[in-house]
Structure 1
Amino acid sequence: MLSQVFNIVAPLFLIISVGYFYGARVRPEMRITNQLVMDVFMPALIFHVMVQDSFMPSQYVWLVIAGCALMLGSGVVAYLFAKLFGYHARSMMPPAMFSNWANLGLPLYIFALGPVALDGGIMLVVAGNVLCFTVGTYIYSGRFSGLSMLKTPIIAAVILGGLCNSLSLTMPPFLDTPLEMMGQVAIPMMLFSLGVRLTRVSFKDAKIGLIMAAFCPIVGISLAFALAYILPLSDLHRGILILFGALPPAVINYMLSEQYDCEPDQVASMVVIGNLASVVFLPLALILVLLPT
């Protein structure tokens, strides 16, 4: 069991470590690379998955419902926690809700549960992005801007992919092959970029960072087990949901908090310490998922 867990998490953290040490030494400008991942490679991966004959969105309805319930539930728990202990709720809720679905989530599902888990992981990425650019931006900014979500390439890829899927359109090989190749770039590049980003984030406000480093996976895994018990999820989707709940806060939280001037130093601490703490919590989540039932 332990060797299996090690073989799953080691490739993820090795690639992140390469990005971290490269970033610490070279200090590369990753803005353009990150934009390429979010605007080109990730949309290509999502679109390629959604236009495959084997992809049937109806299979993931309960998983998406569970994922949305987990994110929203985590936000509610974070709000109550912040109010109870005197923390800033607007800066605490989004990091509890919006985690590294893509950077860590997709490769984690694949290594732990096999390539068959990719489609479900993609659906959670889609659901997470929809909530992040609607509910998330509302929490950070205090105003709702649904149109901004429609302008993101990932959502455009979801709409186009869903349309092609519903019409049973098949991509010719000369289009499908480059889409697949570009999509394959996304996962290792996101892990590498995450490592580089961890060199840029401050450790200020370490107390709230340490609190959230434990809060996010504990609440997320607890809600995942509760939802898996209530909702009719398959064993595969149950495993994906538990790993989804264990993921640390996403870097997008720091970017949005800075954009809307919502305690960016505190959010930065939650992101960096939470991702470092995932070295402990992700193996624990994997043990829970891989234990025989």
Structure 2
Amino acid sequence: MGSAGVLLGAVAPVALMVATGYLAVRVLHLERGPLVRLTLYVLVPFLVFDQLWRNQAELGGAVRLAAAFALASAGFALLGCLAGRVFSLPQPARVSLTATTAFPNTGNMGLSVAFFALGEAGLERATIIFVVATILLFSFGPALFKGGSLKEQLKMTLRLPLIWAVILGLLANAVNLKLPLNLGGGVHMLAQGAIPMLLLSLGMQIAESRFAVSAYDLAASLLRVLGGPLVAYLAGLALGLSGPDLVVLLLISGMPAAVNTYLMAAEFGGDAERTARVVVLSTLLSFVTLPLVLGLATRVAGAG
């Protein structure tokens, strides 16, 4: 298989599962809500716990990767904020642009593409980024859209099963936990269910969204899928990342806008309609841009 086939092979399985979720809504008229709740509150915490528990990444490298993504996220937010000011957008649209630029889809798309592109090594690194991104999203997302005290943001974060999965997973790894009666196998099987369910729910989200394209939607989507890797490259260089760490950082940073940005815009304020359109359009564009980002990242990092 040529290099183009390898790159497309990382995205094609993702596209298949997203398309299946889309058809499940259009043909079978299935409801997305229960699937999303099951995935976010049960399967994803199992995935995070399982990956952190089994993760063999060197601690210093994991911390450096997490720090690089946190630094890149600050750059994403700054990029979106500056773009909103340059184009004199109204406040709700400016907030939404900052959010869709700052928060990539590290869950539905990020974990899946990293796994199909780089296998378990990619998934391990993508999970580290996913944990950091989730903490940033639920810590700063509500404040970005609505404001609120640090205490309120902390209470919201601590209510998430994901946060406790992070804590328990790190503890299990530190003490080299061994579960009896092959319960670890059960945990791993539940964890494996998260990726297809994430992608099915994303396809269902697209099926339920109205699709329209304006100049704002296209610009905001391109800012996310193309501006993100550029900012991440600078952050990665600043912290000395190379090899698979840099590849995964750039790949995840080229993901479309996180679906949760729409949920937060609808719940806390911002331009929810524009946010939804950017989530959908950036997702569709990413099926074209991600193979390019992956190819360039592999060359730049020398990990091909």
| TM-score for both structures, normalised by structure 1 | 0.95
What RMSD over aligned residues (CA atoms) do the two structures have, in Å? 1.6
What residue in structure 1 maps to residue 16 of structure 2? 14
Does the CA contact (< 8 Å) of 1:209 and 1:270 recur in 2? yes
Distance in 2 between residues matched to 1:241 and 1:36, nearest whole Å: 28
Number of aligned pairs? 293
Distance in 1 between residues matched to 2:107 and 2:55, nearest whole Å: 23
For residue 115 of structure 1, what is the amino acid of its counterpart? Answer: E
What residue in structure 1 maps to residue 133 of structure 2? 128
SS in 1 for 2:182: helix
1:89 to 91, 94, 118: 94
What residue in structure 2 maps to residue 285 of structure 1? 293
What residue in structure 2 maps to residue 48 of structure 1? 50
Distance in 1 between residues matched to 2:85 and 2:34, nearest whole Å: 39
Segment of structure 1 superposing worse, 85-94 or 269-278: 85-94
Distance in 2 between residues matched to 1:213 and 1:185, nearest whole Å: 29
SS in 2 for 1:114: helix
Structure 1 stretches (4+) deviating beyond 6 angstroms?
Answer: none
Name structure 2 gaps, 5 residues minimum.
none
Q: Identity over aligned residues, as a percent?
A: 28
User: Aligned pair 1:215/2:223, yes or no?
Assistant: yes
Alignment of 1:93-104 (within 5 A): 93-104=98-109
Distance in 1 between residues matched to 2:66 and 2:55, nearest whole Å: 20
What residue in structure 2 maps to residue 187 of structure 1? 195
SS in 1 for 2:48: helix
Deviations 1:157-195 (A, max 9, x none): 001111222333223353211110100000011111111
| TM-score for both structures, normalised by structure 2 | 0.91
Deviations 1:89-133 (A, max 9, x none): 211111111111011111211121221121111111110110001
For residue 151 of structure 1, what is the amino acid of its counterpart? Answer: R
For residue 95 of structure 1, what is the amino acid of its counterpart? Answer: T
Does the CA contact (< 8 Å) of 1:51 and 1:171 recur in 2? no
Distance in 1 between residues matched to 2:45 and 2:143, nearest whole Å: 24
For residue 31 of structure 1, what is the amino acid of its counterpart? Answer: G
For residue 230 of structure 2, what is the amino acid of its counterpart? Answer: S
For residue 110 of structure 1, what is the amino acid of its counterpart? Answer: F
2:78 to 58, 76, 79: 76
2:168 to 160, 185, 192: 160
Name structure 1 gaps, 5 residues minimum.
none
Distance in 2 between residues matched to 1:270 and 1:53, nearest whole Å: 34
Distance in 1 between residues matched to 2:60 and 2:177, nearest whole Å: 17
1:249 to 251, 257, 280: 257
Does the CA contact (< 8 Å) of 1:257 and 1:264 recur in 2? yes
What residue in structure 2 maps to residue 118 of structure 1? 123
